[in-house]
Amino acid sequence: MKNGAAISPEWFAFDWGTSNLRAWAMRGARPLAEGTSARGMGTLQRAEFEDALLELVGGWLGAGPMTAVACGMVGSRQGWSEAAYATVPCAPLGANLTRPPVADPRLTVHIIPGVKQPAPADVMRGEETQIAGFLAQEPDFDGILCLPGTHTKWAHISAGEIVSFRTFMTGEMFALLSKSSVLRHSVTTGWDDAAFADAVAETLSKPETIAARLFQIRADDLLNAPADGVLRARLSGYLVGLELAAARAYWLGQRVVLLGAKRLSGFYQTALAAQGVATESVDAETCTLAGLHAAFATLKETV
């Protein structure tokens, strides 16, 4: 059900990223309606967050105060109200949710804090909620969660805690190279599965050659005109292979679960399968909602 239908929600869930905002009207753990907006954190001044929220949920509000739980970049230093990081090792959800100032008396908002790792320095915002949602469904999990995305996370999970994690800017590097570098002329369209797999293997074998291999994409286009999709898949394979080389300690000999969008998780599944690593996959939206519900349940317990 989309935004605008007559419903009676119990609470609201928000996944507030840099570029986009997603909202759900919830009853218990079940979404009744959803809405989306392009008013992500990066487009807003601090005084504009409440208006952006009300644009999506205003039609769902009743007369009494309603609880909203939000995760993601809304809690960053540049967001609505900074939610202090929890420090690993820690449970993905802590009790210290942040309440930003809200003028509308019908609404109280709670922001889930991110997680930090002092050394090697790393941070996450939003992924901790997905991890919490996964653990709500599999509380005894002991292994590795890989969360593919613009900034892919590899997290070691044990005894219900995030033990350690590493972030790789693989998705952002692909976007920059494919849109803003000389390679933009060569990696425009299409996809080739074999080219991707070969590129992953080549980079895992010799990661130190990555800078040369990247320019080779452009030269190959100029001199040999490969089939459509080969060079785009090769660029992705080189970058994913570079990530896997650096993250080897996380996936080698470990149980690995991929938590992300189906298509992107599929690339990692293919790359890891070639290394003899069997992976499992779970849906990112399902885990996000489960994590937000877990935070809401915690708030209810404290009332």
User: Each residue of 247-296: pLDDT tens digit?
Assistant: 999 999 999 999 999 999 999 999 999 999 999 999 999 999 999 999 99
CA distances from 38 to 16, 23, 120, 292 (A): 10, 12, 33, 21
pLDDT at position 117: 98
β strands within 236-276, DSSP E:
256-260
* Domain 168-283: top CATH class: alpha beta
- Give the CATH fold of the 11-125 domain: Nucleotidyltransferase; domain 5 (3.30.420)
Residues of the chain with CATH 3.30.420.300: 11-125
pLDDT at position 1: 40
pLDDT at position 64: 78
pLDDT at position 4: 45
| Radius of gyration (C-alpha) of the chain in whole angstroms | 21
pLDDT at position 113: 96
- The low-confidence residues of the chain, meaning pLDDT below 50, are 1-4
Rounded to whole angstroms, the Cα distance separating 231 from 226 reads 7
Instruction: Tell me the β-bridge partners of 161.
Output: 158
The HSE-up count of residue 186 (CA atoms within 13 Å, CB side) is: 24
Percent of the chain scored above 70 by pLDDT?
A: 98
DSSP at 226: P
